[in-house]
Amino acid sequence: MTTPVALTIAGSDSSGGAGIQADLKTFAALGVYGASAITALTAQNTRGVTGIHAVPAEFVTAQIDAVFSDLEVGAVKIGMVAQPASIDAIAAALSRWAPRHIVLDPVMVATSGDRLLASEAVEALRRKLMPLASVITPNLPEAAALLDEAVAASEAEIESQGRRLLALGCRAVLIKGGHGAGAESTDYLLDSEKTINFAAPRITTRNTHGTGCSLSSAVAAGLARGEDLEGAVRNAKAWISAAIAAADRFSVGHGHGPIHHFHKFY
């Protein structure tokens, strides 16, 4: 029996709630072996980000090459990429190794509101990483930022932005509705043929640190296990909803606390 493996290429969160740490927790919770290539170190906690130290691009390449040269990677999740040089390195490495599934989470702003992606890197992300992606997973503000537009305020506007994101070269778009309003949080999965809505009750909690990172990682975990994209998204949505619902079992930090990745186990 082959062990499913997923690789996360992202930044480290020193407080453990988001980034690489959230990705590896997600993979483990969903029965997938996790590997990592770290693009940046952040000094971060539940209240905010106080520092970012980018990893040199050539060392990002070295990490990716080390993983692919030895492990059978079933899916890749890309999170915080920090700078244009890192984006170039990631795009070149993934073009060489050609993994079957790439989930791109265009992380621009932390839950606390701190900016995580330099403005000059946004265009590089659009041109170099989006065309490689099996699916991109922006939230509503990120989808708008990728298109230089206002945040979508209706289902029709969300679908319209999703279609324009598809035109930038990715094979599918999952626009996350967590920043929306209403009793339900609805995510929208679009590909060239259809749009599928995934709704779940909106959960009232301030413990949402790492939600976006964890959802994209859960999708990557499903793809690594051999699920199709719709199934991977459906299962990831159910899992993340349960992890948010269980977040208040934790008392971690004084700001936006983490979700409960291992809610099934304790």
Domain positions in the chain are 5-249
- 63-82: b (≥16 Cβ within 10 Å) or e: bbeebbeeeebbbbbbbbbb
Listed as own residue / partner, the contacts of 121-127 with beta carbons closer than 8 Å and 24 or more positions apart are 121/81, 121/82, 121/83, 121/84, 121/86, 121/87, 122/146, 124/84, 124/87, 124/88, 125/81, 125/87, 126/168
Interval 20-73: pLDDT, tens: 999 999 999 999 999 999 999 999 999 988 999 999 999 999 999 999 999 999
Please tell me the pTM assigned to this model. Answer: 0.95
- Active-site pick, 46, 61, 208, 257: 208
Helix (H, G, I), strand (E, B) or coil at 78: strand
| 8-state DSSP, 139 | B
Of the residues 210, 222, 237, 257, which is catalytic?
210
Contact (CB, 8 A) for 195 and 189: yes
The two structure tokens encoding residue 165: 């994101």
Superfamily in which the 5-249 domain is placed by CATH: Ribokinase (3.40.1190.20)
Q: Which one of 25, 77, 128, 176 is the catalytic residue?
A: 176
Enumerate helices (H) and strands (E) in the chain, giving the number of each. Answer: 8, 9
Per the annotation, the verdict on 210 as an active-site residue is yes
At 203, list the tokens.
Answer: 């959960």
170 is catalytic: no
Q: Which of 19, 212, 222, 257 is catalytic?
A: 212
Q: What pLDDT does residue 244 have?
A: 93
Separation CA 224–CA 82 (nearest Å): 25
Structure confidence by residue, pLDDT tens digits, 85-138: 999 999 999 999 999 999 999 987 666 666 667 777 888 999 999 999 999 999
Active site residue 2: no
Catalytic residue among 162, 213, 222, 257: 213
Average pLDDT over residues 142-150: 91
Catalytic residue among 211, 222, 237, 257: 211
Residue 42 catalytic? no
